[in-house]
Amino acid sequence: MAGLLAILVGVLFGAGVYLLLRRSLIRLIFGLALISHAVNLLVFTTGGLVRGNPPLVPPEAQVPPAGHADPIPQALVLTAIVIGFGLLAFTCVLVKQVVKTLGTDDTDSMRANEE
């Protein structure tokens, strides 16, 4: 399972980078979204995949049962999803404004300020 997810992470990263390298701003948004998903999946996968063993302490015990799922990567991913969502929302609005102000969504024609 981890191997499969690793390949998926790679595919997501690759697709994201491919979209970033296109000239259209809309594709750039999708590229950033794919990359942020790839990273979340990466963090989740490297944390170790455990099935059906939540890190809950049984009533009579002091520690959760052996081999429990590590909750930290999941907490990290949750935080990262929220942050990523906020950033993506901002990027969408920014792209809308950029297209409105510059009259184009072609990144190659945004070199006006680079001399």
Partner 1 sequence: MSLLPALPVLVPLSAAALSFAAWKRLAVQQAIGVAGTGGLLAAGVALLAKTAGGAVLVLPVGGWPARFGIALAADTLSAIMVLLAGLMGLAVAVYALADVDRPRKAFGFYPFLHLMLAGVAGSFVTADMFNMYVWFEVMLLGSFVLLALGGERDQMAGAMKYVTLNLIGSALFLSAAGVLYAVTKTLNMGEVSTRLALIAGHHPHLVLALGALFLTSFAIKAGLFPFTFWLPASYATPPVAVSAVFAGLLTKVGVYALLRTFTVVFPVMERNFRILLLLAGITMVLGVLGAVSRFEIRKILSFHIISQIGYMVAALGLSISPDPEIRRLALAGAVFYIAHHIVVKTNLFLVGGVIRRLTGSFDLKRTGGLAKSAPWLAVLFLIPALSLAGVPPLSGFWAKLMVIRAGLSAGEWLLVAAAIAAGLLTLISMVKIWNEAFWKPAPSPAPHPRPGRGTLLAMTAPIAVLALVTVLIGLWPQPLLDVAGRAADQLLDPAGWAKAVAGDLR
Residue 110 near partner 1 by CB under 8 A? yes
Range list of H helices, 24-70: 25-46
Alpha-carbon separation of residue 54 from 2, 41, 48, 65 (angstroms): 18, 19, 13, 9
Tokens of 75: 């907490």
Tokens 């990359």 locate to 35
Cβ at position 92, least distance to partner 1 in Å: 11
- Residue 49 DSSP code: -
Q: Pattern of binders to partner 1 over 22-61, x per CB under 8 A?
A: ---x--x---x--xx-xx--xx--xxx-------------
Cβ at position 28, least distance to partner 1 in Å: 6
- 105/92 Cα distance (integer angstroms): 12
Cβ at position 46, least distance to partner 1 in Å: 4
Cβ at position 114, least distance to partner 1 in Å: 5
- 108/87 Cα distance (integer angstroms): 23
- Residue 106 DSSP code: B
Residue 90 near partner 1 by CB under 8 A? yes
Tokens of 56: 């809950």
Positions in the binding site for partner 1 (CB under 8 A): 20, 25, 28, 32, 35-36, 38-39, 42-43, 46-48, 70, 72-73, 76, 79-80, 83, 86-87, 90-91, 94-95, 97-98, 101-102, 107, 110-115
